[in-house]
Amino acid sequence: MIHDGSTLDISSADYAADPYAHYRRLRELATAHWIDSGGPDRWILVTRYDVGRAILADERFSKRLPDRYVARSSGGGQGRSMLGSDPPEHTRLRGAVAAAFSAGSIAAHRDRVEEISLRLVNDLTARLDSPAIGYARLREEYALPLAFSVLAEVIGIPPGKQADFHQWTTRMLSPARDEADLAALDEAISSIRDYVYSRVRLEAKEAGDEQAGPAPVLRTLATDSSDRALSEAEIVTMVTLLLTAGYEGTANMILNGVAAFLASPPQWRLLVDAPTLAEAAVREVLRYDCPVQRATLRVATRDISVGGVSFAEGTLVGVSLAAANHDDKQFRRAEAFDITRPPAAHLAFGHGLHRCLGSSLAALEGAVAFRHLARYLPDMRLHPSAPGIEWCRTGFLRGPVDIVITRGGTP
């Protein structure tokens, strides 16, 4: 049965402050819910773990939605990305970059992630210890610079251009409320497209040049001469997707973790006393407060029944990753934040063919971040002038607007 009449205002301050209370209410009502989007179509939100996980792995639910649902920014104006494709096209697109994001390839970036994180932590410490300052903003001064710098290097965006890309992708991730916003969005898309085109041609021209370390994604794509190689337009789409889908989620993961630790001092003390728990902390943060609240919509390609829930052909379906990760039928004490929780298969990275490509990179950055913060800022706490943590009202992504910290005392 699909419950009708459910409401979920993902733009409200109430939802932003605590979406999990809303998910709990929905799970208590039913496994799946009709949601009125305010547009011409309604869609179904799945809130239970077992049904949600099964749908994510079921290829009868297509990611190739009608053209009207393809966001203007999803591919830099270059057509569908792998996020909105099915096999065999999805297989070809993902295969072009999969090796660069494999666990083995990402492990080769560990030293660089450590280096960038330590530099940023040192800057934080200097601000916190300065009598003239005494506070730091974790989003702008640590989480975002770490996530963006690392991803930009993996992709192959040179340091001198990273500030521009950060500005462009920020514009693409921001809501377009009026004509001026739309014009700024179009300009950002055009800027990314023009730059990537020029870089693709440059990389192809210098294909024989030696380069130390893992080859960046841009170089790999530009020099691919196989019959499955991406076109220039597809490379633009791929780079845009990797950037817009990558660094913001990783930054939010770090910030969501810090927020959870600040609200649970005993858990923070566990990590401070045992930094080897950093990897476990990443898993629990992702489960407890995942940065991507819902998987992108799928469409049923036929009449389908999953876990006793029937979906008619043509129905749009979204799986709430956040609600599934708090399902008490799957996780004991699901509402509790516990970094000693035994490893469990959370859905923060999705599941199936479309499981997050950057999961290994995000996990590495998260572990480094939590370990460094616990080691160098064990006494961090919210700045007394901060009224609390304000949460971004984006609905789809979850993260604090910022976390203003000071040091001394206990979190």
Domain boundaries, the chain: 2-407
Q: Is pLDDT at 372 greater than 80 in this prediction?
A: yes
Q: Is pLDDT at 88 greater than 70 in this prediction?
A: yes
User: Locate tokens 């829930």: which residue?
Assistant: 309
The whole-number average pLDDT for the span 93-120 is 95
The pTM (predicted TM-score) of the whole model is 0.92
The whole-number average pLDDT for the span 15-43 is 85
Please report which confidence band the pLDDT of residue 335 belongs to, taking 50, 70 and 90 as the band edges. Answer: very high
Tell me which of 122 and 216 has the higher pLDDT: 122
Q: Please give the pLDDT value at position 301.
A: 97
Q: DSSP characters for 182-227?
A: HHHHHHHHHHHHHHHHHHHHHHHHTTT----SSPPHHHHHHT--ST
Q: Is pLDDT at 274 greater than 70 in this prediction?
A: yes
Single out the residue of 45, 35, 24, 13 nearest to residue 329, CA to CA: 24
Q: Are 323 and 33 in contact (CB under 8 A)?
A: no
- Exposure pattern of 270-286 as b/e (b: 16+ CB <10 Å)? bbbeeeebbebbbbbbb
Question: In this predicted structure, which of 75-79, 95-99, 192-196, 293-297 has the lowest mean pLDDT?
Answer: 75-79
The whole-number average pLDDT for the span 261-290 is 97
Please report which confidence band the pLDDT of residue 72 belongs to, taking 50, 70 and 90 as the band edges. Answer: very low
Q: Please give the pLDDT value at position 375.
A: 97
- The CATH architecture of the domain made up of 2-407 is Orthogonal Bundle (1.10)
Q: Is pLDDT at 379 greater than 70 in this prediction?
A: yes
* 56: Cβ contacts below 8 Å, ≥ 6 apart: 295, 319, 347, 350, 351, 352, 354
The whole-number average pLDDT for the span 337-364 is 95
Q: What is the radius of gyration, based on Cα positions, of the chain?
A: 21
Tell me the average pLDDT of the chain: 89
Residue 120, classed as helix, strand or coil, is: helix
Residue 81 corresponds to which tokens in the numbers above?
């990305």
Q: Number of helices (H) and strands (E) in the chain: give both, helices first.
A: 16, 11
Q: What is the rounded CA–CA span in Å between residue 254 and residue 239? A: 23
